């Protein structure tokens, strides 16, 4: 097949109007973290920028707990809530709760069914739901005052991961890979893994590119089988596959030359090359056969409850080692409108050991200082019960007005609490922090100035935090 090519591979690379020479240079620069796309929208020419600031982290792992874990049941204890069990919300607190749907302010207070105790030198209180993670509390920066006004799962996820409820903007992972390129030559720069499909459906904008070129979107992979379609087809070897891709590349170059600039087509062309490299490296990354029994036990991989999320957390560590810039692990099922106690026990049992294993493993390998780990959901849950259920069947409604997120690694000062909610856990009363503030802080940790990560779209210079957002500098001490 290659004998019919009118141009040699070398000539094709030199002459193609697509500028494959530039693409090759772009790839090399991206491996060194020196590439971001040109702000005028010309993405065939490399644009050297490098980080704007001294990066504290090289990669970020977002442990996204979809459905809304209750802040007063996990990392924000409220003794008064225990005392006022079953009573109406006091007017002195109710008056400050935003008038948004499902605020819970007109329902009866519900004490947490879980006990809290202090851990570590910092003495931060953590629920019994997270005993393994709690032992590492001195590495955590617990932010108890995150808030927004979107009480619905889908738009809430979009707010948490893209900055807008509409889901029409790039995800934070896409902005990160756009701003810094990829440090991995053989794997996607942004990888997404999904676990526990129970509950709200995954929101694709949470790993989508929005108006950025398609190559910056997250690659969804299965932790059991790895990156899809990377297994070499039967009767093919590397040489045959290389010849096939050269021919496909030549045809695509001809088509693009006639079509003109097209980010979808450019992304597809680049994906063939990345796919070829992944066929060699991805299977090794996702094959955990060479991990020691101690590491498997650390993540809980061989236990039914923790196997799925534990596997994903271990793969996340391996992806960080390979230079993958952004990893998002979405764990569904936290939407406890009823049976909150059984729901949260089951959910936390599945993720607590894997999370602690991830932090421990990163730390002992010297990777935690270069890896920012973020834990949280799209919102929290109300301090009141929902509906008329009683006893163990009770649950809580959605609470975007006040909830908890924590960070670790990546230059974060551990063993501290930032922000405070009121005595019942409804709303922040000290250091209110928005999702946009978290996004600005995440970018800052990676060495990106939110105001200088610019993409020209519809004649407008877009930035990741277009609706505001300030770096929470206390996070870094």
Higher pLDDT, 215 or 129: 129
Higher pLDDT, 329 or 36: 329
Q: Is the pLDDT of residue 241 over 60?
A: yes
Q: Is the pLDDT of residue 43 over 70?
A: no
Q: Confidence band (pLDDT; 50, 70, 90) for 303?
A: very high
Q: Which token pair is 253?
A: 């170059």
Closest CA to 191 of 170, 174, 214, 212: 174
- In whole angstroms, give the CA distance from residue 457 to residue 390: 52
Q: Is the pLDDT of residue 384 over 50?
A: yes
Tens of pLDDT, residues 261-292: 776 777 666 666 666 666 666 677 888 989 99
Which pLDDT score is estimated for 200? 84
- In whole angstroms, give the CA distance from residue 443 to residue 41: 21
Which pLDDT score is estimated for 146? 98
Higher pLDDT, 185 or 181: 181
Q: Is the pLDDT of residue 260 over 90?
A: no
Q: Is the pLDDT of residue 148 over 70?
A: yes
Q: Confidence band (pLDDT; 50, 70, 90) for 36?
A: very low
Which pLDDT score is estimated for 20? 36
Tens of pLDDT, residues 102-135: 999 999 999 999 999 999 999 999 999 999 999 9
- Count CB atoms within 10 A of the CB of residue 417: 21
Higher pLDDT, 276 or 56: 56
Tens of pLDDT, residues 420-477: 999 999 999 999 999 999 999 999 999 999 999 999 999 999 999 999 999 999 999 9
Closest CA to 388 of 83, 108, 18: 108
Q: How many residues are there in the chain?
A: 477
- In whole angstroms, give the CA distance from residue 237 to residue 391: 62
Closest CA to 385 of 96, 101, 102: 102
Higher pLDDT, 39 or 291: 291
Q: Is the pLDDT of residue 72 over 90?
A: yes
How deeply is 456 buried, as exposed, middle or buried, from its count of CB atoms within 10 A (0-12, 13-18, 19+)?
A: middle
3-state secondary structure of 452: coil
Higher pLDDT, 238 or 9: 238
- In whole angstroms, give the CA distance from residue 245 to residue 19: 17
Closest CA to 325 of 441, 175, 182: 182
Residues 6+ apart with CB under 8 A from 39: 47, 454, 455, 456, 461
3-state secondary structure of 307: helix
- In whole angstroms, give the CA distance from residue 205 to residue 155: 10
- In whole angstroms, give the CA distance from residue 366 to residue 316: 15
Round to the nearest angstrom and report the end-to-end CA distance of the chain.
61
Which pLDDT score is estimated for 24? 37
3-state secondary structure of 222: strand
Which pLDDT score is estimated for 117? 98
- In whole angstroms, give the CA distance from residue 160 to residue 378: 5
Least confident of 45-49, 318-322, 398-402: 45-49
Domains of the chain, residue spans = 2-132+141-410+444-476
Which pLDDT score is estimated for 187? 85
Residues 6+ apart with CB under 8 A from 177: 189, 190, 216, 325, 326
Average pLDDT score, the chain: 87
The fraction of the chain above a pLDDT of 70, given in percent, is: 83
- In whole angstroms, give the CA distance from residue 119 to residue 136: 8
Higher pLDDT, 458 or 182: 458
Which pLDDT score is estimated for 4? 43
| Average pLDDT of the segment spanning 60-84 | 98
What value, to the nearest 5°, has the Cα angle with vertex 273 and ends 268 and 278?
Answer: 110
Q: Confidence band (pLDDT; 50, 70, 90) for 18?
A: very low
3-state secondary structure of 381: strand
Tens of pLDDT, residues 344-377: 999 999 999 999 999 999 999 999 999 999 999 9
Least confident of 167-171, 196-200, 305-309: 196-200
Q: Supply the Cα-derived Rg of the chain in whole angstroms.
A: 24
| Average pLDDT of the segment spanning 70-98 | 98
Q: Which token pair is 234?
A: 């039967």
Q: Is the pLDDT of residue 305 over 70?
A: yes
């Amino acid at each position: 097949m290659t004998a019919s090519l009118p141009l040699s591979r070398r000539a094709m690379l030199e002459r193609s109007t697509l500028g494959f020479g530039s693409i090759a240079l772009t790839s090399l620069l991206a491996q060194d973290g020196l590439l971001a796309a040109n702000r005028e929208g010309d993405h065939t020419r490399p644009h050297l920028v490098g980080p704007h600031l001294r990066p504290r982290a090289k990669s970020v792992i977002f442990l996204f707990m979809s459905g809304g874990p209750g802040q007063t049941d996990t990392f924000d204890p409220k003794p008064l809530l225990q005392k006022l069990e079953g009573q109406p919300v006091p007017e002195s607190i109710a008056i400050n709760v935003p008038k948004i749907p499902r605020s819970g302010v007109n329902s009866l207070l519900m004490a947490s069914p879980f006990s809290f105790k202090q851990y570590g030198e910092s003495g931060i209180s953590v629920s019994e739901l997270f005993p393994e993670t709690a032992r590492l509390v001195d590495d955590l920066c617990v932010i108890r005052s995150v808030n927004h006004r979107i009480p619905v799962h889908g738009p809430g996820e979009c707010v948490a991961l893209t900055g807008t409820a509409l889901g029409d903007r790039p995800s934070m992972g896409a902005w990160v890979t756009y701003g810094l390129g990829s440090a991995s030559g053989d794997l996607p720069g942004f990888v997404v893994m999904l676990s526990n499909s129970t509950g709200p459906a995954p929101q694709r904008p949470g790993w989508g590119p929005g108006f950025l070129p398609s190559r910056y979107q997250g690659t969804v992979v299965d932790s059991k089988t790895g990156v899809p379609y990377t297994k070499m087809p039967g009767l093919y070897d590397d040489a045959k596959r290389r010849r096939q891709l050269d021919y496909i590349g030549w045809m695509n170059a001809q088509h693009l030359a006639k079509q003109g600039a097209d980010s979808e087509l450019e992304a597809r062309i680049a994906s063939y090359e990345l796919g070829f490299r992944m066929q060699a490296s991805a299977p090794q990354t996702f094959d955990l056969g060479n991990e020691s029994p101690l590491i498997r036990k650390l993540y809980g991989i061989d236990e039914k409850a923790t196997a799925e999320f534990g596997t994903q957390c271990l793969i996340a560590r391996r992806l960080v080692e390979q230079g993958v810039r952004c990893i998002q692990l979405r764990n569904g099922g936290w939407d406890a409108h009823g049976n909150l106690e059984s729901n949260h026990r089951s959910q936390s049992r599945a993720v607590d050991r894997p999370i602690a294993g991830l932090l421990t493993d990163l730390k002992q390998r010297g990777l935690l200082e270069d890896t920012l780990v973020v834990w949280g959901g799209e919102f929290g849950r109300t301090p009141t019960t929902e509906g008329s259920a009683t006893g163990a069947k009770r649950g809580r409604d959605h609470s975007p007005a006040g909830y908890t997120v924590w960070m670790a690694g990546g230059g974060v000062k551990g063993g501290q609490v930032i922000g405070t909610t009121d005595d019942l856990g409804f709303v922040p009363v000290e250091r209110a922090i928005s999702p946009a503030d978290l996004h600005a802080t995440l970018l800052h940790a990676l060495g990106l100035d939110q105001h200088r990560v610019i993409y020209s779209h519809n004649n407008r210079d877009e930035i990741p935090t277009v609706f505001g957002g300030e770096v929470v500098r206390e996070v870094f001490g």
